[in-house]
Amino acid sequence: MEKVTMADVAKAAGVSKSTVSQFLNKRFEYMGEKTKQKIAEAIDTLGYQPNYIARSLKQKRTSMVGIIVANIMHYFSTEVSRAIEDFCHHHDLHAIVCNADDDPEKEKKYIEMLRAKQVDGLIIFPTGQNNELYERLINQDYPVVFVDRKVENVRGFSIVTDNQDSTYKAIQQFVAQGHRNIAFAVQPLTVSTRKERFQGYQKALLDAGLEMNPEFIVESDISEMKAKLERLFSMEDRPTAIFCGNDRVFLVAVEALKDKGIKIGKDIELVVFDNIPFAPLLETPITFIVQPASEMGTKAAELLFEQMNKVERDPVEIVFQSKLM
């Protein structure tokens, strides 16, 4: 079968090629409903597929954006990405999601690959270890927004949450309940989110007049986290409360506590900084610090969309407030 062209659609609908082009680009200002219906029917009948490559060359845009997630295993990242994709769908943009797996080399390859595919902009959950590359994107006026994690010494658009303040409030709550042995479990302190949460923990202990016990701080990759937590829970003077730095740490901590026969809410109190989809189903009293993921994703997409459309605006860091639940 021969490829159906825009001219074939125009002929079948009884309109000009330029009118079909306006229809495809959703420029309906001077187009009547009857004309739109005729073109839509012709496209459907003929099975016409627009040539997006030709259109992107003409418009100098691909209508594609890239989302590079630091680690797709985090439910928070999935929620943010979903909100970005919803925004893109509403604005006739196509979103390509890539998972960097917390690997700066993988992140670098994805940035280079997406730019080679000429995507119109990038939303990055940065590993924080490609600063020269981030800076080059910004210096070239390439549309980019950083989400969740801050990038040091790079002045760009970023969307973050109040990691330090929310952690501080959670530890304050433990102190108010009478806890003095408060542990902190976190993945390696290599990114801003983890660093800020640890700073909130430190500050809360200091302000409460409590000495920080190095043995109560578990900093580890997920693969080694369980063994270290089991040693922590085996201590004679073990913690009575624990702060889990994110959802993955939380799942490992719950497994370790179960193996040791320690009951959450009875033998130990627990708080986790992350969005947990099954939280309402839990009977155990656990405190969650919930981030406004959907709002953060939508705002990130809006900032990227503005840059893609050459809206003049100084780079800004927008901090969203999390909720203690």
* DSSP collapsed to 3 states, 101-151: CCCHHHHHHHHHHHHHCCCCEEEECCCCCCHHHHHHHHHCCCCEEEECCCC
Q: Is position 1 within any domain?
A: no
Long-range contacts formed by 105-109: CB under 8 A, 24+ apart:
107/68, 107/70, 108/133
Q: Domain for residue 226, yes or no?
A: yes
Examine the domain organization and report whether 306 and 249 are in the same domain.
Answer: no
What is the reported pLDDT for 236? Answer: 93
The pLDDT assigned to 58 comes to: 54
Q: How many CB atoms lie within 10 A of CB 117?
A: 11
Q: Note whether 201 and 103 are same-domain residues.
A: no
pLDDT at 6: 83
The Cα 42–Cα 4 span in angstroms is: 11
Q: What is the pTM of this model?
A: 0.82
What pLDDT is attached to residue 9?
86
Residue 114 CA to residue 121 CA, distance in Å, equals 9
Does a structural domain hold residue 58? no
Please give the radius of gyration of the chain, using alpha carbons only, rounded to the nearest integer.
Answer: 25
Do 150 and 117 share a structural domain? yes
Check whether residue 168 and residue 286 sit in a common domain.
yes
- Do residues 297 and 281 both lie within one domain? no
Q: Which residue, among 278, 249, 117, 100, has the nearest Cα to 183 in the 3D structure?
A: 249
Q: Mark whether 233 and 307 lie in a shared domain.
A: no
In a domain, 56, yes or no: no
Could you tell me if residue 244 is inside a domain?
A: yes
**CB count in 10 Å sphere of residue 281:** 7
State whether 212 and 271 are in the same domain.
Answer: yes
Model pLDDT, residue 211: 94
Q: What is the mean pLDDT of each run of 10 residues along the chain (325 residues)?
A: 79 87 80 88 84 56 91 92 96 94 96 93 95 93 96 92 97 96 96 96 97 96 96 95 95 94 93 81 80 97 95 94 93
Are 202 and 260 contained in the same domain?
yes
Q: What pLDDT score does 279 carry?
A: 66
Any domain includes 40: yes
Whose CA is closest to 179, among 228, 232, 237? 237
Query: The domain spanning residue 84 has which CATH number?
Result: 3.40.50.2300
In a domain, 129, yes or no: yes
Structural domain for 187, as ranges: 163-290
Count of domains forming the chain: 3
Residues 74 and 110 grouped into a single domain: yes
Q: What is the structure's pLDDT at 78?
A: 93
- Which pLDDT belongs to residue 97? 96
